[in-house]
């Protein structure tokens, strides 16, 4: 769904949400009826749009709290009756889907551990065939955009039309600031490929720490995400799952109050004019960059020909190390980050090797 200048709610046709961004909040797990209802009642004051709670929890280790099961669906139904909030639940099997549909659950989400399995996704798609219900698909645990899109496509082919995706970060083996690495380039690529699919950020699962939720949520809004899914619990310190990343309702209210909900466009003439002038400068700078890269690759072609004639290998490790070190240093002196310079020159080096390989093949054929 393309963004419009007046920044309409992308979920308007779903008949949920009143603002430009969809706010989903609630406990990681429905632990008891009192806990769920108490949390829901306090979240009403936060002006959220949808109440979330997990009742089937795919836990990493057996013996940990795996949710209350289908019993929790009745609690969610009562919470919806009391608060008038639509409710959303995670499903992982066709039997979960059947139970939710029977109880009249408003929305469903598919978790990362399910998205990663095409067999599971197809089973869910088959169970939902012909059903008009919104479904949110979390990214798979590994950073694979095609696997994510494949899950969406399976649901779409089953006839579902109200599909959104949820960015919850990606698992990583080594220590990191966040519980799950954001890898923002992947959801950005998702938006570029399919601007019609609303995208929501789950800062709770990315951060793994309630103190980091605000920063991650703001980053998502700065990137024009369409909504947020945040875990909130009436007493986070006693939560049976993911206690560290959940916010108390008053903490959630403060996070939402502080967030700067960015617009896609501005009607201000001065802003529009100035932005257009700056973009023209960007276009000119890009033309210069492309011309310089074209010149560089012509020189690379000559080097490839010269190496071939003299029986010298394409890859020169010492030269590559020298280039990478010197270019990173030059970039740092001009306020360009080491990460950016390293990735930039890795791409340039990879393309240079391809050019020289082409020269080798050309000479071999002659």
DSSP string, 304-347: HHHHHHTT--S--HHHHHHHHHHHHHHHHHTT--HHHHHHHHHH
pLDDT at residue 2 tops 50: no
Neighbours of 165 (CB within 10 A): 25
- How far apart CA 353 and CA 239 sit, in angstroms, is 54
Domain end among 258, 284, 319: 258
pLDDT at residue 33 tops 90: yes
Judge if 35 and 95 occupy the same domain: yes
Beta-carbon contacts of 214 under 8 Å, excluding residues fewer than 6 positions away, are 203, 255, 258, 259
Beta-carbon contacts of 123 under 8 Å, excluding residues fewer than 6 positions away, are 93, 94
pLDDT at residue 123 tops 70: yes
Which CATH number goes with the domain that contains 107? 3.20.20.70
Judge if 106 and 250 occupy the same domain: yes
Residue 7, pLDDT score: 53
CB-count burial class (<10 Å; 0-12, 13-18, 19+) for 337: exposed
- How far apart CA 128 and CA 132 sit, in angstroms, is 8
Residue 74, pLDDT score: 96
- How far apart CA 172 and CA 199 sit, in angstroms, is 22
Judge if 286 and 212 occupy the same domain: no
Question: What tokens does 154 get?
Answer: 């399976």
Judge if 335 and 239 occupy the same domain: no
pLDDT at residue 86 tops 70: yes
Which CATH number goes with the domain that contains 305? 1.20.59.10
User: Residue 200: beta bridge partners?
Assistant: 166, 227
Neighbours of 297 (CB within 10 A): 15
Neighbours of 152 (CB within 10 A): 21
Q: Is residue 96 part of a domain?
A: yes
Q: Is residue 94 part of a domain?
A: yes
Question: What tokens does 232 get?
Answer: 């909130």
Judge if 253 and 273 occupy the same domain: no
The answer to whether 31 touches 239, Cβ cutoff 8 Å, is yes
Q: Which of 151-155, 204-208, 310-314 is predicted with the least confidence, judged by mean pLDDT?
A: 310-314
User: Residue 108: beta bridge partners?
Assistant: 89, 135
**Mean pLDDT over all residues of the chain?**
93
Judge if 122 and 212 occupy the same domain: yes
pLDDT class of 252 with cuts at 50, 70, 90: very high
Q: Which of 117-131, 237-251, 253-267, 275-289 is predicted with the least confidence, judged by mean pLDDT?
A: 253-267
40 or 59: which carries more pLDDT confidence? 40
Residue 363, pLDDT score: 66
User: Between helices 213-222 and 249-258, what is the axis angle to 10°?
Assistant: 40
Mean pLDDT along residues 40-69:
92
Residue 176, pLDDT score: 79
Residue 18, pLDDT score: 80
Mean pLDDT along residues 158-165:
97
Q: Is residue 7 part of a domain?
A: no
Residue 364, pLDDT score: 67
Domain end among 235, 258, 281: 258
Judge if 110 and 150 occupy the same domain: yes
Judge if 281 and 249 occupy the same domain: no
- How far apart CA 190 and CA 137 sit, in angstroms, is 12
Q: Is residue 2 part of a domain?
A: no
Tell me the pairing of strands 107-110 and 22-26.
Answer: unpaired
Mean pLDDT along residues 138-143:
96
Q: Is residue 4 part of a domain?
A: no
Judge if 26 and 156 occupy the same domain: yes
- How far apart CA 68 and CA 90 sit, in angstroms, is 13
pLDDT at residue 3 tops 50: no
Domain that includes residue 153, residue range = 12-258
DSSP string, 144-168: -HHHHHHHHHHHHHTT---EEEEE-
Residue 4, pLDDT score: 35
pLDDT class of 1 with cuts at 50, 70, 90: very low
CA nearest to 165, candidates 86, 105, 225: 225
Q: Is residue 6 part of a domain?
A: no
Mean pLDDT along residues 128-135:
96
Judge if 98 and 72 occupy the same domain: yes
pLDDT class of 268 with cuts at 50, 70, 90: confident
Q: Is residue 3 part of a domain?
A: no
- How far apart CA 167 and CA 225 sit, in angstroms, is 10
| pLDDT digits 0-9 by tens, 303-351 | 999 999 999 999 999 999 999 999 999 999 999 999 999 999 999 999 9
114 or 172: which carries more pLDDT confidence? 114
Mean pLDDT along residues 33-48:
97
Q: Is residue 5 part of a domain?
A: no
pLDDT class of 122 with cuts at 50, 70, 90: very high
Mean pLDDT along residues 35-54:
97
Judge if 253 and 302 occupy the same domain: no
Number of domains in the chain: 2
- State how far Cα 16 lies from the chain centre: 21
Judge if 79 and 206 occupy the same domain: yes
Residue 62, pLDDT score: 85
CA angle 66, 42, 84 (to 5 degrees): 85
Domain end among 216, 234, 258: 258
Beta-carbon contacts of 130 under 8 Å, excluding residues fewer than 6 positions away, are 158, 159
Q: Determine what percent of the chain is predicted with pLDDT higher than 90.
A: 85
CA distances from 125 to 17, 47, 114, 271 (A): 25, 32, 12, 45
Mean pLDDT along residues 284-295:
97
pLDDT at residue 352 tops 70: yes
């Amino acid at each position: 769904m393309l963004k419009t200048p007046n920044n309409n709610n992308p979920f308007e046709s779903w008949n949920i949400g009143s603002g430009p961004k969809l706010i989903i909040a609630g406990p990681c797990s429905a632990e008891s009826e009192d806990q769920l209802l108490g949390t829901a009642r306090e979240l009403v004051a936060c002006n959220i749009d949808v109440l979330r709670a997990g009742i089937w929890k795919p836990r990493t280790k057996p013996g940990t709290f795996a949710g209350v099961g289908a019993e929790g669906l009745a609690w969610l139904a009562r919470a919806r009756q009391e608060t008038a909030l639509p409710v959303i639940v995670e499903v992982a099997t066709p039997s979960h889907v059947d139970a939710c549909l029977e109880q009249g659950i408003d929305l469903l989400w598919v978790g990362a551990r399910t998205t990663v399995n095409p067999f599971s996704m197809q089973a869910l798609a088959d169970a939902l065939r012909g059903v008009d219900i919104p479904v949110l698909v979390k990214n798979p645990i590994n950073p694979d955009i095609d696997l994510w899109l494949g899950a969406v496509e399976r649901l779409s082919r089953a006839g579902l039309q109200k599909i959104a995706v949820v960015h919850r970060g990606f698992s990583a083996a080594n220590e990191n600031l966040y519980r799950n690495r954001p890898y923002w380039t992947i959801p950005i690529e998702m938006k570029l490929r399919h601007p019609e699919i609303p995208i929501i950020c789950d800062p709770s699962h990315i951060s793994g720490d309630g103190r980091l939720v605000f920063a991650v949520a703001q980053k998502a809004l700065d990137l024009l995400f369409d909504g947020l899914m945040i875990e909130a619990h009436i007493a986070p310190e006693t939560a049976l799952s993911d206690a560290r990343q959940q916010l108390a309702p008053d903490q959630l209210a403060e996070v939402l109050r502080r967030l700067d909900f960015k617009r896609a466009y501005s009607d201000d003439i001065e802003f529009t004019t100035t932005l257009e002038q700056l973009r023209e400068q960007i276009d000119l700078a890009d033309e210069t960059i492309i011309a310089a890269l074209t010149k560089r690759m012509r020189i690379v072609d000559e080097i490839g020909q010269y190496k071939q004639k003299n029986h010298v290998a394409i890859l020169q490790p010492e030269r590559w190390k020298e280039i990478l070190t010197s270019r990173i240093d030059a970039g740092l002196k001009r306020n360009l980050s080491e990460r950016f310079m390293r990735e930039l020159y890795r791409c340039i080096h990879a393309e240079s090797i391809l050019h020289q390989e082409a020269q080798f093949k050309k000479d071999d054929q002659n």
